[in-house]
Structure 1
Amino acid sequence: MERIFSVEGARSLMPEARELVGQLIELRADLAELGYDLKQSGSSARGGLAEAKGLEARLAEIVGWFAEQGVELKGIAPVLIDFPAVLDGVSVRLCWIEGEGELGWYHRSELGFAGRRPL
């Protein structure tokens, strides 16, 4: 069953979510650099295949945390998360994208990011 968030409930989860997003951003950059270096020259200052697998495993843990909380991770570059909610009887997603200071937007569930409005 899909978890339905209140605005307050979603905002209360944001400190932990933002901490994990910070880790995800670092992992994303490390994996990109490591993968590029390995493809180009076969070696990287970031390590080798074992390190890449370790980074991928940690990334999977973070992605799993969002799913366990009922938060929809829509993208990782940039990080975009949605919290299922109902506002005025309408199914919406409380929407946060990497770089925003707080959870301050929503969109109707069927419209997606293009339908974003301020809370």
Structure 2
Amino acid sequence: MNRLFTVDEARALLPEIIDDAGLVIAARADLAEIAHDRQVRDHSELGGIPEIKALEARIEDVLGGWAERGIEVKGVAPVLVDFPAVLDGVSVRLCWIEGEPELAWYHRTDLGFAGRRPL
């Protein structure tokens, strides 16, 4: 999907993105704990293969939903998403990373995260 977002549209979606990111963060933490415990103790209180598959499916469901809406997923640890946009005639990405309370950054499409600037 080649959708372009306005700043207002992306900001309106952010509360939902933050909620969804919370699901990804929790699943990511559970996966890390299960993997560590299984390596160190051969089992985890959080489960085994079925639970791993369910957590992976939960993450994929969230990320797939974002992609279907035109939101670009750039990372899951930390969660990093971009909203394609155009500012002053220039192709940019409105950029949000896990932990930020609002959508306040952008970068030129050709520069990536290192080129982040405040909106």
TM-score range, shorter chain: over 0.9
Alpha-carbon distance, 1:88 to partner = 0.3
Matches within 5 A, 1:1-119: 1-119=1-119
Amino acid at match of 1:67: A
Write the distance in 1 (CA, Å) between the matches of 2:86 and 2:47.
Answer: 46
Write the distance in 1 (CA, Å) between the matches of 2:106 and 2:57.
Answer: 31
Structure 2 SS opposite 1:86: strand
How many residue pairs match? The answer is 119
Structure 1 SS opposite 2:110: coil
Structure 1 SS opposite 2:80: strand
Amino acid at match of 1:80: L
If the length of structure 2 is used for normalisation, what is the TM-score?
A: 0.97
If the length of structure 1 is used for normalisation, what is the TM-score?
A: 0.97
Where in structure 1 are there 5+ consecutive unaligned residues? Answer: none
CA RMSD of aligned residues (A): 0.8
Amino acid at match of 2:40: Q
Alpha-carbon distance, 1:35 to partner = 1.2
